[in-house]
Chain A
Amino acid sequence: MSDIFSPVGVEWTRVSPRLAAARRLGRFTLLVVITGLFASGMSASVWWIVPAALSLFVSVWTWVWARRNQRSWGYFAGPEELLVTSGVMFRRLVAVPYGRMQFVDVKAGPIQRTLGIATVHLHTASQLTAAVIRGVPDEQAAQLRNQLTELGESRGAGV
């Protein structure tokens, strides 16, 4: 059976593996802080083992999840529409005709900036569109934004 999340004629541009690194870094920082708080509160008893074991499990899980999730992201700027796909367990594919595009956002948080990646968000008049591409390398993000803006202008239509 052909996979409907990789349609014929669509070559997904995959996002940077640094997205996985960014996510691991973010989650691990949070995990260390939470585990530290719990462990310091329990240092008197042997039960500090419990939060430690839990956090070890979550770390391994996060490590694997971040990689798999990063691999699931992809976008394809086709001749007439932009396609974005993501998700491992819950998979999603969105198709946005360039004419419906209103504007393109490029965002990057502190961790993302250090790793040189950004989030590209394409907005239409509908909030349901949610065409978000995470983990696009910086230079590629700028290029994509310009390309999309140009395509949007040439095929412009109102609400």
Chain B
Amino acid sequence: MPQALDVQAARRTSPLTPIIRLTAIFPIIAVSAVEQLSGPGHDDSVEFVWLGIGVLLALISALTWCFTTYVIDATEIRVETGIFTKRVRRIPFERLQAVDVLEPLRARLFGMAALRIDMAGGGKSATRVEYLPRAEVERLRALLLARAHGRQANAVAASNGHDQQPSSGTLLDSVNLTVIARVPNGLMVRSRLLSTAYLSIGLYLIFIVVTAVAAGSPKPVFTLAVVAVGAVSPLLAQWDFTLYRTEHGLRVERGLFSKRSESIPYDRIQGLEVVEPILWRPLHWQHLKVDVAGNPKESGSRQGRGDRSTMLPVSNPALTQWLVAELIPGSHEPPQSVVRPPLRSWIFAPIGWRYRWLGTNPWTVCSQSGWVTRRTSVIPHYKVQSVSYRQGPIQRILGLTTLAIHTPKGPVKVRGRHLPDAMVAAEAFAEVGRVRRARSPFTNR
């Protein structure tokens, strides 16, 4: 098994890294410097100040790069950073959740990319290795995913008392790409424009233009530009959205200027959610979200670019149904027992109570809620962590209880609000039993 790749000495990222990082802030400095220097009546020392700032930033950037190394060995990946105090991020392969390849525009210009690794466990858990040549990042990702898969399978095999089987064909991951779905850009843009967020932005823009014309001032041009950029960048982030199937998991590729490619191993999918806003329902459009343990949002992400929870920005019922069934085995079977809130629960949701239900089948637990935006969530029993129910004073009078199914932090929530007392207790203990017996079908492959 030990190959040449297996144990690696500490490596630095590409020496172009500080330059790429500087290109992010360089224009700001250059613009403000030029602005000040071209202004009337400055003395020569100002030039030196700006020069000094530039040199200092370059130095810090170079030193930061110099003190950043990464190591991939048989059990984990380690990233060491810090000029004065050394910080080590260790990611054992069992805890690795997802691996992304990020290509911001500035890095693409140099043919470089960054690797982003997500780990199970709350808090700020995303680790970045930036920047490396694109091909190298791809190779590392394939290696990490294969390792993660192998470790998990081995752990299960060992606990089942079987012989350990090393995973074979480790580096084929990037080769065996099958397209599951390509979202047409036109459809994606139309679907986004038909959302309440964009409609309100549109109304706001009209309001600004009208008031500007009425007042006859050119001032709102700047506001307009800012709003327009803010509105367009999420569209660019979802541009050319393609979902692939690979040997060990799913891959999403998207982005026009800044590209990203996100990989999620099958057994790291915690749950799925189908979102159907009221405006989309007549058109049979759906938004498919996925839950992965770890941070769905990258810290400091702008305009939701770091949002990895989208599996398909717009989909049709047939595709959604097929994909959900594919990713969560058994979820295509209709729920065998469905619990709905009774009429007396109207006091908590005068309209919404009719649209809520919670159902289970031998493989999954799912729930639906919402009459404006309908959300259907599915969680496989083997990913459920615990089950709880709670009851407030008004609920007690009415004989209602809220049931909650707990999974790691993420957008997908399964719960049954204001259900009849007796049914909740029975359902909760039945669910705990199913959870206990459930085992992931993916790790045994």
* Interface, chain A (partner B; CB < 8 A): 1-2, 4-5, 7, 80-81, 87, 89-97, 99-100, 124-131, 155-159
- Residues of chain B within 8 A (CB-CB) of A4 are 389, 391, 401, 421-422, 424-425
- Residues of chain A within 8 A (CB-CB) of B429 are 7, 95
- Residues of chain B within 8 A (CB-CB) of A100 are 384-386, 435
A-B pairs with beta carbons under 8 Å apart, 10 shown? A4-B389, A80-B436, A81-B432, A92-B389, A93-B388, A94-B387, A95-B387, A126-B408, A126-B409, A127-B122
Are A127 and B409 within 8 A (Cβ)? yes
Whether a CB of chain A sits under 8 angstroms from the CB of B157 is: no
Are A90 and B392 within 8 A (Cβ)? yes
Complexed CA–CA distance, A129 and B424 (Å): 17
Residue of A nearest to B409 (CB): A127
- Residues of chain A within 8 A (CB-CB) of B424 are 4
Whether a CB of chain A sits under 8 angstroms from the CB of B390 is: yes
Closest 8 CB pairs of A and B: A94-B388, A126-B385, A124-B385, A4-B425, A126-B406, A128-B406, A96-B386, A92-B390
* Interface, chain B (partner A; CB < 8 A): 94-95, 120, 122, 152, 155, 159, 293, 382, 384-393, 396, 399, 401, 404, 406-409, 421-422, 424-425, 428-429, 432-433, 435-436, 439, 443
Are A97 and B406 within 8 A (Cβ)? no
Residue of A nearest to B421 (CB): A4
Are B432 and A97 within 8 A (Cβ)? yes
Q: How far is the CB of A85 from chain B (nearest CB, A)?
A: 10
Are B432 and A90 within 8 A (Cβ)? no
- Residues of chain A within 8 A (CB-CB) of B425 are 4, 7
Are B293 and A91 within 8 A (Cβ)? no
Residue of A nearest to B432 (CB): A95
Are B386 and A90 within 8 A (Cβ)? no
Are A126 and B386 within 8 A (Cβ)? yes
Residue of B nearest to A128 (CB): B406
Interface centre among B386, B390, B392, B435, by most chain A C-beta atoms within 10 angstroms, is: B386
Identify which of A80, A91, A131, A155 contacts B390 (C-beta below 8 A).
Answer: A91
Complexed CA–CA distance, A2 and B441 (Å): 38
Identify which of A7, A80, A87, A129 contacts B386 (C-beta below 8 A).
Answer: A129
- Residues of chain A within 8 A (CB-CB) of B95 are 159
Identify which of B386, B396, B432 contacts A131 (C-beta below 8 A).
Answer: B386
Identify which of A2, A89, A93, A129 contacts B406 (C-beta below 8 A).
Answer: A129
Are A90 and B152 within 8 A (Cβ)? no
Interface centre among A89, A94, A128, A155, by most chain B C-beta atoms within 10 angstroms, is: A128
Q: How far is the CB of B392 from chain A (nearest CB, A)?
A: 5
Complexed CA–CA distance, A87 and B384 (Å): 24
Residue of A nearest to B428 (CB): A95
Are B388 and A92 within 8 A (Cβ)? yes
Knowing A4-B422, A125-B120, A125-B293, the reply to whether A90 touches B391 (Cβ < 8 A) is yes
Complexed CA–CA distance, A5 and B428 (Å): 12
Residue of B nearest to A123 (CB): B385
- Residues of chain A within 8 A (CB-CB) of B382 are 157
Complexed CA–CA distance, A131 and B399 (Å): 24
Are B94 and A158 within 8 A (Cβ)? yes
Residue of B nearest to A156 (CB): B159
Complexed CA–CA distance, A65 and B407 (Å): 32
